[in-house]
Structure 1
Amino acid sequence: MSGFRRGPARRDSVLIVCDTGDPHAAAVATMVEQVHGLEVIRFDPSTYPRAYGSFRVDRLGTARAMSRAVGLDRARSVWWRPATPSRSALMPGIDSDFEPDACDSFLEGMLWSIPAHWVNDPGADRTASRRIVQWETAVRAGLRVPETLVTNDPDEARSFTESRPGPVVFKRDGTRRGSCPQARIVTREDFARMSDIRRCPAAFQDYVQSECELRVVWVDGVEWTVRVDAPPGVQRLVDRPAVEVSFSATTLPASVSKSLATLMGALGLGFGVLDLRVGLDGEYYFLEVDPRGRFDHLVTATGLPMFRSIADLLADDEMVTGR
C-alpha cells in the first residue's frame, strides 16, 4: 500500500462500492469518466482484508488508505451498492486471527466516514431495505399497498390466506440477496408445510390481478418509468427469462409521482428501483423498493438514459456538501 496522501482534498473522483462484476457500476463509471471527466474508484468490499486498509487521525485531520482503492479522500460522491448485507471476505484457514465482525466494523466505518454525497446514505439504505418499513411509509405517503401479513405464526398465516377473496402471494422475508425464494402463489400443498414459518417469518400478500407491472428507477427526484407486459395468463410476479415480456417507457399520474416523492424522501433514498402494479381496477399498488436494485435490462429494452442520470447526480458539484 502506498500510504497516506495528505494535503487539501481535491474532490475530483467518484467512488462506487459494489460487487466486482456489477454491470451498473461499469456503465455509470464510463459515463462519469467520459461525460464529466472525473476519475472513478471502484471498490468491492469482499476484497478486504486481502486488501490492506488504514485510517488515521492527526493534527492535520483525517486520512484513509486502501491498497485496492487509491484516492478515497478525493471522492466527491459515493454510490453505495455492495451485496446485501455488506460483508468482508471470508478467509477460512488463512488467518486464525481473522474476525469478520472486526473487519466489517473497520471497513464500514472508514467508508461511511468519507465526507461526500452518498447515494444512498448507508444508514438510510439499511433501514429502507426492510419491507415492513417500506409498507408503513408507503401507506403514510398515500400509496395503495395490497393487504399484507408478515408472520411466523402458522395459524395466523393459514387464517389470513383462507380469508382472502383471491390468490395470495407468499415470500420469505430477508435482506441477503439469494437467500429468499422468489414470490409465488400460495397453493393447497403449501398449507401442509405452513409450520415451517415458525423458524423464518414470511410475507403473505394479496395477489393483485393487474393490467401491467411498472418498474420505476428513481434518481434523486427524476423517475424513469417502464411498463412491463407479459402474455395473457402469465402470473407476473417477477421478470422471468423464460417468458416473453415486453418493456416500454411510460409516465406516472401526477398524484402517484407526488406520493413516490414523499415515500423516497421519508426513506431518505436518492436512488431506488420501485415495483408497482396497475390493478384491473385502475389503482396503482406499491409492492416494494430496492435501494440497490438492478435496472440494466430496462436500459437495454427501452434506451432510457438511466445510467447518464445517475452519473450526472454523482458528478454534480452542488451535491458535494458533505453528509
Structure 2
Amino acid sequence: MTAAARPVLVVAEQLDAAADMVVDQLNQRGVPVVRFDAADFPQSVTLTGQLGTSGDWDGALTDGHRSVRLSDVRAVYYRRPGRPVIADTVPESYKQWAQNQADCALLNLLSALPVRWINNPHFDRLAAHKPQQLVAAVKAGLRVPRSIITNNPETARAFAEEIEGPLICKPVLGGRLDMGDERQLMVATHAVDPAEFDDSIRLTAHYFQERIPKKYEVRLVAVSEKLFAGTLRGLSGKAVTDWRTDYEAIEYGTTTVPEPVATSVRQFLDSYGIVFGSFDFAVTPDDEWVFFENNPAGTWSWVENRTGLPIAAAHAEYLQGK
C-alpha cells in the first residue's frame, strides 16, 4: 500500500463534533479514514492482532462493512471513545472482567502501533491528572495559582489566612452528579468563604486555590507545534468565576500567545509525550498568563466555530504526516 493510501484510524464516539470536523478535513485532503467507536467492540467490531517475527503487531479491525489492517494505519486520532459494551448473555459476575479485558486489549494493541497519535491514551491518562499538571506547568516555566488539596478544615483555614484574598474551590476530578431523576449536574468552580469552613471539609478531598483576577480567559488549543488561542471574556459574575456556567454571557475573540508562554506550553506537552491539549489560562489585568489546567482530550470545536481558528485543519495536517 502506498503512503498516500494508508488510512487514519479515528477512534471516537459516533456523535462527536470535533471528530466530525477532523474527518471532514481529512476527506478534503483525500486521506482515507476508518472510524470506529470502542463501545462497538467486541459486539459488532472484530479485532485480531498477531505478533510477527519482526516484533510488530499485524491483523485487522473490522465491523463487517469497513476494515483496516493494523500494519496499514498511518496515524490514530483517539478522542473520547466509549468503553466496550459487553453482551447481555455474559453472566453479570463476569461482565466487569470481560469489559476490562476488551478495553485493555483494544487500547494496548493499538498503542503498540508505531504511528502518529493524537493522543496515545496511555500518555493521555497520566496527562489528565490535575495535581501533577501543576508540577509540570511550574517546571515548564508557567505561573500557577497557589493551591492546596485537603480534607482538614484547620489546614484549609490556615491556607486562607496565608492567601489573604478570595478563594475558589474546584473538583480534583471532572464529572457530574447523578441527581437520581435523570438530571446530571456539573460541579463548577465556585467562590468559597473561609469563614464558613467547617467539619464537612473532612468528608472528602477539597481543592482550593487563590482566586486569580482576570482581564479575560483563554482556551489555548495546542496541536503539535501549532497553538490556537480563543479568548473568553465573562460578562456576568457566574461566567467570570466559571465560564461553563453561563455560556450566554461570554464574549469570544482571539489573541496571540506570548512567546515565553508558547515555549512553556510546548515543553509541558513534551514532558507527557503528547501533542494535543486544551489549556485553560487566565490573563490578569497586568497581562500575565496564569495556567489553570490542561485537558488532553478537551473540547475545541466550539473554539473553531466561534473564532474561525483552523484547529481541525491542524489536526488533519498532523495526522496526514505533514
Give the TM-score range, shorter chain: 0.7 to 0.9
Equivalents in 2 of 1:72, 1:250: separation in Å?
Answer: 42
1:184 aligned onto 2:183: no
Two-structure CA RMSD over aligned residues (Å): 2.5
Aligned length: 303
Give 1:237's aligned amino acid: D
Secondary structure, counterpart of 2:143 in structure 1: coil
Q: Which of 268, 278, 285 is the matching residue for 2:290? A: 285
- Cα distance change, pair 190–19 in 1 and its aligned pair in 2 (3 A): farther
1:45 aligned onto 2:45: no
Q: Which of 30, 33, 51 is the matching residue for 2:27? A: 33
Give 2:200's aligned amino acid: R
Which whole-Å deviations, capped at 9, do the CAs of 1:118-170 have from their partners, x for residues lacking one? 11122221211111221101111111001001233343234323543222111
Equivalents in 1 of 2:216, 2:141: separation in Å?
Answer: 21
1:70 aligned onto 2:67: yes
Task: Judge which range, 141-150 or 11-20, deviates more.
Answer: 11-20
Any gaps of 5 or more consecutive residues in structure 2?
Answer: 178-185
- Cα distance change, pair 163–88 in 1 and its aligned pair in 2 (3 A): same
Kindly indicate whether the alpha-carbon contact (under 8 Å) linking 1:213 and 1:227 is maintained by their aligned counterparts in 2: yes
Q: How does 1:106-125 map to 2 (within 5 A)?
A: 106-125=105-124
Q: Percent sequence identity over matched residues? A: 26
1:168 aligned onto 2:167: yes
Give 1:204's aligned amino acid: F
Q: How does 1:133-172 map to 2 (within 5 A)?
A: 133-172=132-171
- Cα distance change, pair 16–146 in 1 and its aligned pair in 2 (3 A): same
Kindly indicate whether the alpha-carbon contact (under 8 Å) linking 1:18 and 1:42 is maintained by their aligned counterparts in 2: yes
Kindly indicate whether the alpha-carbon contact (under 8 Å) linking 2:5 and 2:31 is maintained by their aligned counterparts in 1: no
Equivalents in 2 of 1:293, 1:282: separation in Å?
Answer: 25
Kindly indicate whether the alpha-carbon contact (under 8 Å) linking 2:281 and 2:291 is maintained by their aligned counterparts in 1: yes
Equivalents in 2 of 1:169, 1:193: separation in Å?
Answer: 16
Q: Which of 57, 79, 85 is the matching residue for 1:81? A: 79
Q: Which of 14, 24, 27 is the matching residue for 1:20? A: 14
Equivalents in 2 of 1:243, 1:192: separation in Å?
Answer: 36
Kindly indicate whether the alpha-carbon contact (under 8 Å) linking 1:78 and 1:119 is maintained by their aligned counterparts in 2: yes
Give 2:235's aligned amino acid: P
Secondary structure, counterpart of 2:274 in structure 1: coil
- Report the alpha carbon displacement of residue 256 of structure 1 after superposing the two structures with TM: 1.6
Any gaps of 5 or more consecutive residues in structure 1?
Answer: 1-6, 318-323
Q: How does 1:310-321 map to 2 (within 5 A)?
A: 310-316=315-321
Secondary structure, counterpart of 1:139 in structure 2: helix
- Cα distance change, pair 202–50 in 1 and its aligned pair in 2 (3 A): farther
Q: How does 1:145-294 map to 2 (within 5 A)?
A: 145-174=144-173, 177-178=175-176, 181-187=187-193, 191=198, 193-197=200-204, 201-231=205-235, 233-234=237-238, 235-294=240-299
Equivalents in 1 of 2:250, 2:203: separation in Å?
Answer: 33
Which whole-Å deviations, capped at 9, do the CAs of 1:91-115 have from their partners, x for residues lacking one? 4x43124422212221112221222
Kindly indicate whether the alpha-carbon contact (under 8 Å) linking 2:107 and 2:121 is maintained by their aligned counterparts in 1: no
- Report the alpha carbon displacement of residue 203 of structure 1 after superposing the two structures with TM: 1.4
Secondary structure, counterpart of 2:261 in structure 1: helix
Give 1:121's aligned amino acid: N
Equivalents in 1 of 2:47, 2:151: separation in Å?
Answer: 41
Give 1:171's aligned amino acid: K
Equivalents in 2 of 1:16, 1:103: separation in Å?
Answer: 18
- Report the alpha carbon displacement of residue 33 of structure 1 after superposing the two structures with TM: 1.0
Equivalents in 2 of 1:169, 1:250: separation in Å?
Answer: 26
- Cα distance change, pair 154–196 in 1 and its aligned pair in 2 (3 A): same
Secondary structure, counterpart of 2:241 in structure 1: coil
Q: 1 or 2, which has the higher helix percentage? A: 2
- Report the alpha carbon displacement of residue 207 of structure 1 after superposing the two structures with TM: 1.1
Give the corresponding residue for 1:3.
Answer: none
Which whole-Å deviations, capped at 9, do the CAs of 1:174-208 have from their partners, x for residues lacking one? 26x446722111245564531221xxx23111111
Give 1:236's aligned amino acid: T
- Report the alpha carbon displacement of residue 291 of structure 1 after superposing the two structures with TM: 0.6
Equivalents in 1 of 2:303, 2:233: separation in Å?
Answer: 13
